[in-house]
């Protein structure tokens, strides 16, 4: 029996990107009010056996999300700003990816370590040290999200993020992906069990557990671990997110995913009808290219209640 495929996506400038089994579809509303779409075939790495192997698939999905996200953002910016589309070279794309990864590691892993180390003399216990570091990491993460919401353009993107979630939730509940159903789809939740925001929160929490296993060695060792172990933490967080989405009927799992769903209130906004229409266009095109006759499995009542 074939493994069930879960559709997901990302908000971009004035649009939504949806990832299918074989293709990536980005739908963007141009300044003239029309919706334009780009279909990009997925690289073999993103559909290979590596993406199905537990733990390893987490690292693959992380790289995939960043690369495809950058490509879709560039396309959406070109359309939204009426600029001529320019294809990024492989070298420049990898440079942008490395800069993005480096900035994230520095802000969310190295900065908390340096801040906590300033209090090291008061934190002799390894468990307490890693717990305080984890709290500092969470505070930086929430402050970062709060700050980016102050930008008007980001608020628009968060509206499309809400549209992406509402459309996927409606689709998984069996609602036809038709523009005429936009008002109905708009009523669905802007939170989603497989959201990247929940994944990032899982990263923050699981990092505390992983680093606690290391204890409190020399600072150089701790510094290196905050870099080397990021792929491991991301992989474990992906497995948790994937598992929780498939077992949300379990009361314990529902309890564990509540903070992530609550945090999504900072990264999503209630979308308008036009934003919903863009999300519908992207997801409908993605599903049709995979299998025109595909009928989604209806979400269980517990999952619907969780979001």
Encode pLDDT of 238-261 as tens digits: 999 989 988 888 889 989 999 999
Give the predicted TM-score (pTM) of the model: 0.87
Q: What percent of the chain has pLDDT over 70?
A: 90
Average pLDDT over residues 44-68: 80
Q: What are phi and psi of 248, to 5 degrees?
A: -70, -5
Burial bucket for residue 130 (CB in 10 Å: 0-12, 13-18, 19+): buried
Round the CA-based radius of gyration of the chain to a whole number and report it.
20
Average pLDDT, the chain: 87
- pLDDT of 1 strictly over 50: no
- Tokens (6 digits) for 58: 């987490």
pLDDT at residue 48 in the model: 75
Top pLDDT among 113 and 68 is at 113
pLDDT at residue 89 in the model: 54
Encode pLDDT of 84-93 as tens digits: 555 555 566 6
Contacts of 33 (CB under 8 A, 6+ apart): none
Q: 216 with 178: CB under 8 angstroms? A: no
Top pLDDT among 62 and 12 is at 12
The residue extents of the domains of the chain are 92-306
- pLDDT of 50 strictly over 60: yes
- pLDDT of 99 strictly over 50: yes
């Amino acid at each position: 029996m074939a493994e069930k495929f879960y559709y997901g996506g990302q908000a971009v400038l004035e649009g939504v990107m949806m990832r299918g089994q074989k293709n990536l579809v980005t739908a963007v509303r141009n300044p003239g009010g029309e919706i334009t779409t780009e279909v990009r075939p997925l690289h073999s790495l993103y559909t290979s056996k590596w993406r199905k192997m537990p733990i390893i698939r987490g690292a693959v999905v992380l790289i995939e999300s960043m690369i495809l996200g950058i490509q879709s953002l560039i396309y959406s910016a070109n359309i939204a700003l009426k600029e001529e589309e320019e294809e990024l070279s492989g070298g420049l794309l990898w440079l942008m990816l490395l800069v993005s990864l480096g900035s994230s590691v520095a802000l969310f892993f190295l900065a908390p370590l340096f801040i906590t180390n300033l209090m090291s003399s008061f934190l002799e216990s390894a468990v307490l040290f890693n717990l305080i570091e984890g709290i500092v990491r969470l505070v930086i993460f929430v402050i970062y999200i709060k700050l980016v919401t102050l930008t008007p353009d980001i608020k628009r993107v968060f509206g499309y993020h809400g549209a992406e979630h509402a459309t996927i939730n409606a689709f998984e509940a069996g609602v036809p992906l038709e523009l005429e159903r936009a008002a109905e789809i708009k009523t669905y939740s802007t939170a989603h069990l497989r959201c990247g925001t929940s994944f990032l929160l899982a990263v923050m929490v699981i990092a505390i557990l992983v680093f606690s296993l290391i204890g409190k060695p020399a600072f150089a060792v701790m510094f290196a671990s905050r870099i080397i172990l990021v792929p491991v933490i991301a992989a474990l967080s992906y497995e948790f997110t994937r598992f929780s989405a498939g077992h949300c009927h379990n009361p314990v799992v529902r309890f564990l995913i509540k903070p992530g769903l609550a945090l999504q209130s900072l990264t999503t906004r209630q979308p308008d009808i036009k934003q919903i229409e863009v999300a519908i266009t992207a997801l409908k095109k993605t599903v049709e290219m995979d299998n025109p006759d595909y009928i989604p499995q209806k979400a269980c009542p517990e999952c619907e209640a969780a979001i």
